[in-house]
Amino acid sequence: MMENKAAGHSRFPWTQVIAFLFSIILTFAAVWIGIWANLSYRVIVAAVFALAFIQAAIQLFMFMHVSEGEHGIWQVGKMLSAAFLAFVIVAGSVWVLNSMH
């Protein structure tokens, strides 16, 4: 029987499995911080946002292969500019909503 093995596709994807497990751990850490940690509200929100950012970065680079290909650096630049715009929109919205009397 002939096996059709492409280059690089015959081995087990350990990096993806490890990234998936790390994403699951980050999710449970965020849940633990949100429910069981005896911290102030601001610290909880900051910690959950930080864990979400790390998890998004893992998923972008490990599963969506953002940095691979011939235009890898451009893809990373586009992602960073999109993240900056999202941050400006969210921060501006929070600022406007908190400044209302």
Domain boundaries, the chain: 13-64, 69-101
- Tell me what pLDDT residue 1 has: 47
Select the more confidently predicted residue: 99 or 75. 99
Q: Which residues of 46-57 are buried (b: 16+ CB within 10 A; e: fewer)?
A: ebeeebeeebee
- Tell me what pLDDT residue 101 has: 61
Query: Per-residue pLDDT averaged across 57-79, rounded?
Result: 77
Give pTM, 2 decimals.
0.65
Q: Measured between alpha carbons, how far is 54 from 97 in angstroms, rounded to an integer?
A: 27
| Torsion angle of C-alpha atoms 19, 23, 28, 31, degrees rounded to 10 | 160
